[in-house]
Amino acid sequence: MTLAPEKVDEWTVDTLDLDAYLHRIGQDRAKPSAAALRELAKAHILAVPFENVDVVLGQHKGIALEDVIGKLVHRHRGGYCYEHGSLFAAAAEQLGYPVRRLVARVQPQKNGPYTHMTLAIEADGVQHLVDVGFGAGMLVPMPLVDGAVVDQAGWPHRLVADGDRWRLQKKEGEDWTDLHAFTLTPMHRIDYEVYHHYTSTHPRSPFTGQLVIMRLEEGRSRKLVGTEFIVERPDGTTETTQIPAGRLDATLRELDVVLTEDELAKLLTIYPG
């Protein structure tokens, strides 16, 4: 099935200065193709961190594209799935890719909520799952083909079709664990506003009560969750370090999150380390 391009007016795609975005991630304009999409997604993930600092500080401006651009492109900050997804979708559409914005249920085996923004993008006549906002998860797109297995920075991931639902899985030992589940039902901008409101304000949201910062690269995943700095490798080895308040700024910078003096000072007043 071929993806029909969405109406872009709803998403204010023209708000994005494409050249500024490409400069941010170190890429040049390229004709749409599966190979170019792979490089674009990988460059985005390597350049733009997954982080929820503004949510923790109670100062998140929202997920309007102009606010996302100001933060992720011009301030060189990161964000979470709605910010990553909306920014990448706008860039992909300007480059000529058909894009469909989707929502996924995180950890479906645990009855997780439908709150994760992900994308289906067509390249070379094939739909791909492009998940640039899933933290230390996917590094490159995956073809929407039942049973497709793609190496993600050293960790095998698989897509499984289940009726009209797709499941993204990660291999852990000899088993496959569901990460999220989604359909190809397109979303509207207001849908993400609702999801974002829950994710950024509800006391049971995993993002309101602690720092969640993630970086993924070939052979290594780094995370700051609460006060724990966790380094994971594909061979199963894990290193966990407690980060005291005096090391917080240096750790954030190591993860490519650079705050203003006021932001850091405010964060230190609530940081439990």
- For residue 5, being part of any structural domain is answered with no
| pLDDT value of residue 7 | 53
CA distances from 195 to 103, 134, 189 (A): 9, 15, 10
* 1 contacts: CB under 8 Å, gap ≥ 6: 127
| pLDDT value of residue 8 | 46
Tally of structural domains, the chain: 1
- For residue 218, being part of any structural domain is answered with yes
Tokens of 100: 């469909």
Inter-residue long-range contacts of 173-179, CB under 8 Å, 24+ positions, other chains counted = 173/236, 177/109, 178/107, 178/108, 178/109, 179/106, 179/107, 179/134, 179/137
- For residue 2, being part of any structural domain is answered with no
- For residue 262, being part of any structural domain is answered with yes
- For residue 253, being part of any structural domain is answered with yes
- For residue 3, being part of any structural domain is answered with no
Residues constituting the chain? 273
Q: Which CATH number goes with the domain that contains 48?
A: 3.30.2140.20
> Distance between CA atoms of 66 and 58, rounded to whole angstroms?
19
> Distance between CA atoms of 49 and 61, rounded to whole angstroms?
18
| pLDDT value of residue 219 | 98
Provide the domain limits for residue 61. Answer: 13-270
Is the pTM higher than 0.85?
Answer: yes
Q: Tokens 């998140």 sit at which residue?
A: 60
| pLDDT value of residue 1 | 55
Alpha-helical runs (H) found in 58-102: 65-68, 81-95
What pLDDT digit, counting tens, does each position of 176-232 carry?
999 999 999 999 999 999 999 999 999 999 999 999 999 999 999 999 999 999 999
- For residue 161, being part of any structural domain is answered with yes
Q: Tokens 């071929």 sit at which residue?
A: 2
Tokens of 73: 């492109």
> Distance between CA atoms of 221 and 168, rounded to whole angstroms?
18
Regions of the chain short of the pLDDT cut 50: 8
Catalytic residues: 81, 116, 131
Tokens of 259: 């705050």
- For residue 250, being part of any structural domain is answered with yes
